[in-house]
């Protein structure tokens, strides 16, 4: 079953990708979103208002803004009290500014809108949750964009709400506020509302919370073990005060900023006790480090989130269940990757020619990424590998990283055999500079040494 979960995990991530994996950079950046939503489960509607604070990154005035807005039904766009002209173009919202945005100028617009069921906005009779930011709020959804979020949720009577960030207060019985003050890419923003039963615990100074569709007990020990493992392996403490696992209807598998993860409700019983759910638990938790904490400069660097998280999850299987379980996972990823090669569907990990969501996501970033990391780990040795990973994680924390950044971090790592004196001095000199470079060239960039990426 672990392999089924891995496939579902990879396919689920497809849904949060934009249609173009490497779109042109927009001449502005959104620095903060203040979003207020009202959930109507009975009519499967969401009413929203988003105040977006942005500033120019251009040298000349900007006369219009383009936002990702999925299928949102936009009612109005205003700046202060002044209406702004807007039009839709597919999933984009173009706003023509009455007063052009000057270089380095900071401004705010307010977008009022409605939303219904969409690929990234799932409605059920007693639940709603999100997996695609632009399906429930207008945003500048680029992987290297990082913004803060204030989210106010008005839920139906009797329903619980949870959103990206930390709970910051309530306005009456059904209105809750959530604040994400650590800037993250909008693709990691989200929420869930439903009639849940709450279970809580604590580990590593972090409040652990499970929201369950039923009133069954929940064992937090596997989550606590995964949290400790990630803290220890990465050298970076969990980036938040709480971590919430929400078990929802459907097949949702999705991590969000601020310590929020959606999982299928059928996994709640005995979660983390078997290899399949232990792997899923750890890989999703790992996204709080690799994806949220360390972001992506481009969708071509997706493997730095998906592949690294999968590799980390395999490592916890080795620690808790032994080498046989770990070897099984290593072989599984290699089999999937080899199948793509046999079918002629292989591509470099650092891939910039995506044109569809299906091309951008899928199993290549996860399984080829994990297979590549197995090779790097074997070449430099596990201790040296994690020394580098801790340095990489610390240096890139709070930033958007690229494949080049990851390669640079490993620039000083020497192959284990050469550094251990198992080869002659001549062989050591020959291999010290080239084995890792050759691996990156072949696996990450898909180029020969003669055309190595500088």
- How far is the C-alpha of 195 from the C-alpha of 214, rounded, in Å? 9
Strands across the sheet containing 92-101 = 62-68, 92-101, 85-89
Q: Who's near 382: CB < 8 A, 6+ residues apart?
A: none
Cβ–Cβ < 8 Å for 134, 90: no
| Phi–psi pair at 162, nearest 5 degrees | -145, 140
- How far is the C-alpha of 10 from the C-alpha of 14, rounded, in Å? 7
Answer whether 0.85 is exceeded by the pTM: yes
Q: Given pLDDT bands bounded at 50, 70 and 90, which one contains residue 7? A: low
Of the listed ranges 4-18, 128-142, 228-242, 322-336, the least confidently predicted one is 4-18
Percentage of the chain lying above the pLDDT 90 cut: 80
Tokens 């009639």 appear where? 195
pLDDT of 283 reads 97
Beta bridge partners of 64: 96
313 pLDDT more than 90:
yes
Integer CA distances (angstroms), 393 to 171, 229, 312, in order: 38, 15, 13
Average pLDDT rounded to a whole number, residues 422-445: 65
Q: Given pLDDT bands bounded at 50, 70 and 90, which one contains residue 449? A: very low
Question: For residue range 131-167, what is the model confidence (pLDDT) as tens digits?
Answer: 999 999 999 998 889 999 999 999 999 999 999 999 9
Q: Residue 334: how many CB atoms within 10 A of its CB?
A: 16
Higher pLDDT, 4 or 439: 439
Integer CA distances (angstroms), 31 to 54, 58, 107, 185, 294, in order: 5, 15, 10, 10, 18
Paired sense of beta strands 242-248 and 260-264, if any = parallel
Average pLDDT rounded to a whole number, residues 57-73: 96
Token digits of residue 73? 């039904």
429 pLDDT more than 50:
no
> Which domains does the chain show, CATH number per domain?
28-193 (2.60.40.1730), 196-295 (1.10.390.10), 300-451 (1.10.390.10)
pLDDT of 70 reads 94
Higher pLDDT, 146 or 18: 146
Q: What single string gives the DSSP state of each residue in 2-56?
A: HHHHHHHHHHHHHTTS-SSSSPPPPSEEEEEEEEEEEEETTTTEEEEEEEEEEEE
pLDDT of 291 reads 95
pLDDT of 74 reads 98
Question: For residue range 272-311, what is the model confidence (pLDDT) as tens digits?
Answer: 999 999 999 999 999 999 999 999 998 888 999 999 999 9
Tokens 């964009």 appear where? 145
Q: Among 248, 252, 285, which residue's Cα sits nearest to residue 265?
A: 248
- How far is the C-alpha of 236 from the C-alpha of 166, rounded, in Å? 19
Question: For residue range 233-268, what is the model confidence (pLDDT) as tens digits?
Answer: 999 999 999 999 999 999 999 999 999 999 999 999
Cβ–Cβ < 8 Å for 345, 363: no
Average pLDDT rounded to a whole number, residues 112-123: 97
Beta bridge partners of 38: 47, 154
20 pLDDT more than 60:
no
């Amino acid at each position: 079953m672990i392999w089924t979960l891995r496939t579902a995990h990879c396919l689920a991530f497809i849904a949060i990708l934009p249609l173009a994996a490497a779109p042109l950079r927009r001449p502005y950046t959104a620095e903060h979103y203040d979003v207020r939503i009202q959930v109507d489960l009975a009519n499967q509607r969401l009413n929203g208002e988003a105040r977006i604070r942005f500033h120019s990154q251009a040298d000349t005035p900007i006369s219009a803004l383009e936002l990702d807005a999925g299928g949102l039904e936009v009612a109005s766009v205003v700046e202060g009290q002044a209406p702004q002209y807007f039009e839709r173009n597919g999933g984009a919202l173009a706003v023509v500014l009455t007063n052009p945005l000057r270089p380095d100028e900071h401004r705010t617009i307010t977008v009022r809108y409605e939303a219904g069921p969409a690929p990234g906005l799932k409605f059920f009779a007693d639940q709603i949750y999100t997996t695609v930011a632009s399906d429930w709020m207008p945003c500048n959804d680029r992987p290297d964009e990082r913004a803060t979020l204030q989210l106010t949720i008005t839920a139906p009577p009797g329903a619980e709400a949870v959103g990206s960030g930390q709970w910051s207060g309530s306005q009456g019985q059904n209105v809750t506020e959530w604040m994400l003050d650590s800037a993250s890419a909008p693709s990691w923003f989200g929420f869930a509302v439903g009639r849940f039963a709450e279970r809580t615990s604590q580990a590593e100074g972090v409040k652990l919370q499970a929201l369950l569709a039923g009133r069954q007990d929940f064992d937090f020990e596997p989550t606590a073990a995964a949290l400790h493992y990630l803290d220890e392996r990465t050298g970076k403490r969990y980036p938040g005060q709480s971590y919430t696992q929400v078990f929802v209807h459907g097949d949702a598998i999705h991590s969000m900023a601020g310590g929020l993860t959606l999982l299928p409700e059928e996994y709640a019983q005995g979660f983390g006790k078997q290899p399949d759910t232990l792997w899923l638990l750890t890989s999703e938790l790992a996204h709080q480090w690799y994806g949220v904490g360390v972001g992506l400069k481009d969708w071509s660097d997706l493997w730095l989130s998906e592949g690294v998280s999968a590799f980390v999850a395999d490592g916890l299987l080795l620690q808790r269940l032994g080498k046989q379980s770990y070897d099984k996972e290593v072989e599984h990823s290699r089999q999937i990757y080899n199948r793509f090669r046999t079918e002629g569907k292989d591509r470099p990990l650092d891939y910039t020619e995506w044109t569809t969501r299906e091309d951008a996501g899928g199993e290549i970033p996860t399984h080829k990424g994990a297979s590549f990391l197995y090779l790097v780990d074997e070449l430099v040795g596990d201790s040296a590998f994690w020394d580098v990973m801790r340095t990489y994680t610390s240096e890139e924390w709070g930033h958007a990283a690229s494949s080049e950044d990851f390669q640079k971090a490993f620039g000083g790592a020497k192959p284990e055999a050469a550094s251990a004196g198992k080869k002659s001095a001549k062989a050591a000199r020959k291999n010290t500079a080239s084995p890792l470079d050759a691996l990156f060239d072949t696996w990450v960039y898909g180029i020969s040494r003669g055309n190595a990426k500088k």
